[in-house]
Structure 1
Amino acid sequence: MAKERTSLRGRIWASLRPVDPYRSVKAALGALVIVSVAITTFLIIVAVNAAIELRVIAVFAVIASLLITQFVAHGLVAPLDEMTQAARAMARGDYGRRVLFDRRDELGELGATFNRMAADLEAADRHRKELVANVSHELRTPIAALRAVLENVVDGVSRADPETMRTALRQTERLGGLVEHLLDLSRLDHGVVPLHTRRFEVWPYLANVLKEANMSKGQGHSRTDVHLALDVSPPELTAHADAERLHQVVANLIDNAVKHSPPHGRVTVSARPGAQPDGLELEVQDEGPGIPEPDRDRVFERFGRAAAADAGQDGGTGLGLAIARWAVDLHGGRIRVAESTRGCRMVVTLPGLGRLPD
């Protein structure tokens, strides 16, 4: 009953807003007209009763109306002037400016919206600067290594033997992988990647992904001691998804798990039926140090890394998991870091047939 009374009171208060001069600019302007007319009427009545000339009364009425209008106009224009100054500062690149007036009317709502817009622009500008800095750093590392190898060959310090060429090839592949990741993120931002879904058998599909991962050992990364295992139950399991995008997801998760595995570790890829028909639940489990709970959302951000990577371990470019989340989001699914007694357990859940986004 108390809740109903509170709700009724809120509806009545909201219905009175158009006539509340503190909460509506329209009501404030209406009050200005009413007050001006009332003052003029009062002065005319006084003039008639006191035998004062009407022109004197008219002068006083005009002066009083101008004073009241000036007071109200200042209250309405001052917030707009403040927003104008803040907008000019933002045009010069100062996204830290905010409007500070406290009002309950439409101008107050406009100021709050302006502040939210300024905060979004500031975050976007900060993200852009971080992106440029991170991309520059990630590109500089393989380019510098490749240049050093080639300079040693040209100067005669090293011979152009197969081992030296393999070192140069690894840096080239690393550079090419980073560029491919950036292209994927560009397609993500522009929304130009449609889904081409089909039904396929999960076991041979994942077996082929693991085969490619085994073949890439020693090229994309130097880990050749990590064992890859596959567990699909039931073996005849089928799924409905975009095979190419799902390949990106699984390949990136495997690559990330291999990089963080201990010596002679094991990475297990598991597949189970999803909750919906033709749905799929994938897991990639490693035996590494795992991801601390505060970092579990951060690792899916662009160039996001866990604390271990920031501390000096090789965390890769920080783009693989962002691309994996993007591909899963395209399917309307979910990717997360699940609880695990050992290592890191990545879980991907894809919806069933008929529940994929258009």
Structure 2
Amino acid sequence: MRPLDSLRSFKVKLGVLVAVSVSVAVFLTWASVKAGLSSFVTLPLVVLAALVVTQVLARGMTSPLRQMTRAAQAMAKGDYSQRIASSSRDEVGQLAEAFTRMASDLQQTDQMRRDLVANVSHELRTPVAGLRAQLENMVDGVTEPDPAALAVALTETERLSSLVDHLLDLSRLDAGVIQVQTETFALTPFLHEAVDAAELGARSGERGLHWAIEVDPPDLEATADAARIRQVIANLLDNAARHSPPGGRVRLHARPAEPSPGPAESGAPDHGADAPPRETGIWIEVSDQGPGIARADRERVFERFQRGGGSDGSGGTGLGLAIARWAVELHGGTIEVIDDPARERENDRSSVIRVHLPPPRSAG
């Protein structure tokens, strides 16, 4: 029983506690005098009664503070699982709730740090082990340093370089030190340059990949940070190439975004000139003929070190799509996995990722 929990102010609680304790002491003193009791009996009786009343009324007032002390000591030792139980509505109760949220956030952050270290260690181990084995074979004379062997070593080195670049991007992301520098550029040559770079990185000639670029209309332009959008497209194309089967087709399609439904189309009342303009912008879609992403994993693939719900052995770092989402959101846009019309019979999976870049905001 916590009789003062309903009060929303700790000062009011203290006031009620003092007032009730003093009232009880005065009443007992008056009653003792009326009864003719000796002061040697009255004084201990009044003090004991006041302590009992204080203990009953103060029950639960300071228990959250004691719990927070124990939780803080546990957190200092790395244990973030402590939670504060408080039913009071005063400042101490609010502090307890804030402390619990802080402990939960710190626990998640610590877990993310542990996962990051574990994942980075795992991602580094694979290319380093492959590169070391290949170089040891060359040094020991088991493998001749011919173009094929050097190509394997180069592939592992490129994987290491890609992972380092992605980690640097993540550090900039977390630090929030990157600003968007927008410019207007033509999409047709821009996307052709991106595909040319992706062809070299994916060695599409060896795998027989086919690349298709569609820009409708051909003179379509975008206003964005070209460097960041180039990074987005490069990551999407790399992801598509890694998941495409030999001889597969990777398609890159850019077109104006369809406008969102207006008041008349959506059934909402038309407010005339007061109605906000319908935002359009640009859609850039990348699709491949790989196994596709399950509907349950469509959000998860944009998280760090996720590859469609788990490791697929494709050699990716699991960071490309997370960085792509970050770069798109810097522009106020969105990136998502959308339903693939070519997979109508497999409506749970899709290999189409769409980027939406909104129109530039007017200076006024």
TM-score bin (small chain): 0.7 to 0.9
Partner of 2:301: 299
Unaligned runs of 5+ in 2: 260-277, 344-349
Number of matched pairs: 334
Q: Deviations over 1:31-70 (max 9, x none)?
A: 2122123213323432454445667545433332233234
Contact 2:243–2:290 (CA<8 Å) still a contact in 1? yes
Partner of 1:279: 281
Moved more, 185-194 or 162-171: 162-171
Q: Among all aligned residue pairs of Structure 1 and Structure 2, give the percentage whose two residues are the same amino acid.
A: 49
Partner of 2:106: 121
Return closer, same or farther for 1:249/1:223 CA change in 2, 3 Å cut-off: farther
| Cα distance in 2 for residues equivalent to 1:344 and 1:63 | 76
**What is the TM-score of this pair, normalised by structure 2?**
0.84
Partner of 2:262: none
Return closer, same or farther for 1:348/1:73 CA change in 2, 3 Å cut-off: same
| Cα distance in 2 for residues equivalent to 1:59 and 1:355 | 79
Partner of 1:175: 160
Q: Deviations over 1:144-170 (max 9, x none)?
A: 111111111111111112221111111
Contact 2:127–2:156 (CA<8 Å) still a contact in 1? yes
Partner of 2:12: 27
Contact 1:298–1:304 (CA<8 Å) still a contact in 2? yes
Moved more, 124-133 or 240-249: 124-133
RMSD: 2.4
| Cα distance in 1 for residues equivalent to 2:149 and 2:136 | 12
Mapped pair 1:243 → 2:226: yes
Amino acid across the alignment from 1:326: W
Contact 1:178–1:317 (CA<8 Å) still a contact in 2? yes
| Cα distance in 2 for residues equivalent to 1:338 and 1:240 | 24
Contact 1:23–1:106 (CA<8 Å) still a contact in 2? no
Amino acid across the alignment from 2:217: P
Contact 2:222–2:282 (CA<8 Å) still a contact in 1? yes
Amino acid across the alignment from 1:84: T
Partner of 1:352: 359
Amino acid across the alignment from 1:247: R
Partner of 1:336: 336
Partner of 2:126: 141
Moved more, 255-264 or 183-192: 255-264
**What is the TM-score of this pair, normalised by structure 1?**
0.86
Partner of 1:204: 189
| Cα distance in 2 for residues equivalent to 1:76 and 1:289 | 59
Q: Deviations over 1:191-236 (max 9, x none)?
A: 1111111111111111111121123232xx8963111111111111
| Cα distance in 2 for residues equivalent to 1:350 and 1:223 | 34
Partner of 2:325: 325
| Cα distance in 2 for residues equivalent to 1:47 and 1:92 | 54
Q: Deviations over 1:247-306 (max 9, x none)?
A: 011111011111111231111111112457883211111122110011111111110111
Partner of 2:244: 261
TM-superposed CA distance for 1:101, in Å, is 4.3
Q: Deviations over 1:96-155 (max 9, x none)?
A: 222234444433333222222212111111111111111011111111111111111111
